[in-house]
Structure 1
Amino acid sequence: MALAIFDLDNTLLAGDSDHAWGEFLVAKGIVDSDEFKAKNDEFYRQYQQGGLDIDAYLRFALSPLSKYSRRELDAMHATFMAEYITPLRLPKAEALLQRHRDAGDFLMIITATNSFVTAPIADALGVETLLASEGEIIDNRYTGRPSGTPCFKSGKVSRLQAWLAETGRSLEGSYFYSDSHNDLPLLEAVDHAVAVDPDDTLNAAAVAAGWPVISLR
């Protein structure tokens, strides 16, 4: 049983769930619209250019969660799923997931986006195992601070290696699908790297390495 690992944003989805969550908060008046939107857009630009300060971003993204109970947050997320995530779902991506299921592979999503945003998305996609950046929780409430190793760049490799050690699994025969050059450390660690609708930097790296380049759009 090989591992079939998938990035989420702009890979299995036709957009970025983290940025979309920020857009949702702005649209619903949950955060200060102008300031939050400007910061959300700037962090996304930094991510695309490869210069994101992941700790600063996570503190920004997690801060609004600290103001609400889990029940309130779950209700918000249900609306977010219906209005923002459902339109981003890709039939070709879900067909790819199914092909790996049918082959008997073990499916996993690994994403820099925090697990509050992404766990319901992974569940909707039928992927039970998720490695994501985590927010600190005390007394069942988010504190607004990150927790543990961010699941970003080399941190994705570290988090995956820890999971492999815990589960006794290996990367033999493994696949990883991603759109982003930020994921080059993990793409280089698996047996079968696949670039999905890649950014220009990843596309060039994939061509140089002889990795398949596919589109799920």
Structure 2
Amino acid sequence: MVGRPRLSRRPTRPLPPGPTAGWAVAEVEQALTVPVDPASAAFFDVDNTMMQGASIYHFARGLAARKHVRSRDLLRFGWYQVRFRTMASENGGHIASSRESALSFVAGWRVEDMERLCEEIFDDVMADRIWSGTRALAQLHLDAGHRVWLVTAAPIELGRIIADRLGLTGALGTVAEVRDGVYTGRLVGDLLHGPAKADTIRELATEEGLDLARCAAYSDSINDTPMLSLVGKPVAVNPDGALRREARRRGWEIRDYRTGRKAAIVAAPVLAGAGLMVGAVSAGKAVRRRRTSRRYNL
């Protein structure tokens, strides 16, 4: 049985200098004074929902800049992950390819090195790509005393860093097996994608006594329909075409923080590079406290 760390909130580390840091720190300090509503929570997808583009793509850029990966490796990861990211339905062959590309990359890496790189690259590359509109939605939940979780197919290490920097409750992410502080090249379970997100949220709700009818979920992708269907308040954020149609059909709220041509441009990194690393690091999922858990609490 998979062990789970207890809920706890760590002091939030400051964001790097700039406009993002100011509002994030101020809002988090305010949120911590609000009584917690133990039955309510909000779940946010990361790529193109909380962050412009794909977090793994940005992570890959950071790795390439530090000479940790070769261009041909990024292209190979990208090819597998473009197929993975654009599949509206679960396809065992594509998911297996994504898993293999991920594992071939992280095997032999030390967890502490991966965590350090996640921190550095978030601060250098990702911090200014957080959608201010989505961040404001998360803050509304925090101000109401709700717990706020990121739910991502990306590595739990990366999800943890993003949640930590934004002052959120924690992250649910993909987990890779670790022995003696080193990634073995095997995943613990499957990539946290599609129906797996909904299954993990159900498990969390049972453990934490959440009333899913009082919870909210936010995503840009049709792949996250199972997660959105699970809660009382589903919201399509910067939705792809298929999710926009589904949201309209089902009467779900739609919020789009993109403007004009930018909406089309923002999608490019997801297709051209989302993959570049969702495989490369999707296997990098070791939680700092319990290395076998999809979940990390701050």
What's the secondary structure of 2:243's corresponding residue?
A: helix
What are the equivalent positions in structure 2 for 1:10-25 lying under 5 Å apart?
10-25=48-63
- The one-letter code matched in structure 2 to 1:134 is V
1:58 equivalent in structure 2: 99
Structure 2: runs of 5 or more not aligned: 1-36, 259-298
The 3-state SS of whatever aligns with 2:175 is strand
Q: What are the Cα deviations for residues 115-166 of structure 1, in whole angstroms up to 9, with x where unaligned?
A: 1222111111111221111111111211122112432111111111111222
Q: Secondary structure at the match of 1:188?
A: helix
Evaluate the alpha carbon distance shift between residue 138 and residue 82 of structure 1 in structure 2; reply closer, same or farther with a 3 A threshold: same
1:68-99, Cα deviation, whole Å (9 max, x unpaired): 32332233223211222113122222211111
Q: Cα gap change, 1:17/1:62 in structure 2, threshold over 3 Å: closer, same or farther?
A: farther
CA shift at 1:55, angstroms?
Answer: 4.0
Deviation at 1:62, TM superposition (A): 4.3
Inter-CA distance 27–62: structure 2 relative to 1 (3 Å threshold): farther
Q: State the AA in 2 paired with 1:141.
A: V
TM-aligned CA distance change 1:149 to 1:123, over 3 Å = same
- Residue 150 of structure 2 is aligned to residue 109 of structure 1: yes
- Rounded to whole Å, the distance in 1 between the matches of 2:119 and 2:142 is 27
Runs of 4+ in 1 over 6 A off after TM superposition: none
TM-score, normalisation: structure 2: 0.67
1:163 aligns with 2:201: no
**Correspondence for 1:79 among 112, 120, 141:** 120
Pair 1:186-2:227 in alignment: yes
Change over 3 Å in CA distance of 1:92–1:8 after alignment to 2? same
Deviations 1:165-214 (A, max 9, x none): 22222202211100001101111111111000001111111111111110
Q: CA deviation at 1:110?
A: 1.0
1:39-60 per-residue CA deviation (whole Å, 9 max, x = no partner) reads 2322332212436633432342
CA RMSD of aligned residues (A): 1.9
Percent identity, please. 28
Query: Which deviates more from structure 2 when the two are superposed, residues 139-148 or residues 182-191?
Result: 139-148
CA distance in 2, matches of 1:20, 1:215: 21
SS in 1 for 2:230: coil
SS of aligned partner of 2:124: helix
Distance 2:52 2:154 in 1: 15
Distance 1:130 1:50, change over 3 A: same
Residues 238 and 256 in structure 2, CA contact (< 8 A), matched pair in contact too: yes
User: How far apart in 1 are the matches of 2:182 and 2:226?
Assistant: 33
Contact 2:88 2:222 in 1 (8 A): yes
**Other structure's SS at 2:212 match:** coil
More strand by share: 1
The one of 171, 189, 192 aligned to 1:151: 192
The residue that corresponds to 2:218 in the other structure is 177
Is contact 1:3-1:174 (8 Å) kept? yes
Alignment CA distance shift 1:116-1:65 (3 Å): farther
Aligned residues: 216
TM-score with structure 1 setting the length? 0.90
Determine helix, strand or coil for the equivalent of 2:197: helix
Aligned to 1:37: 74
| Residue among 3, 6, 9 paired with 2:47 | 9
Mapped to 2, the partners of 1:151 and 1:72 lie a distance apart of 22
Instruction: From the superposition, tell whether residues 137 and 55 of structure 1 become closer, same or farther in structure 2 (CA, over 3 Å).
Output: farther
The CA distance in 1 between the partners of 2:67 and 2:111, in whole Å, is 19
2:4 alignment counterpart: none
Task: Give 1:97's match in structure 2, choosing from 131, 138, 153.
Answer: 138
Letter in 2 for 1:205: E
Q: 1:72 and 1:129 mapped to 2: Cα distance? A: 21
> Aligned residue for 1:88?
129
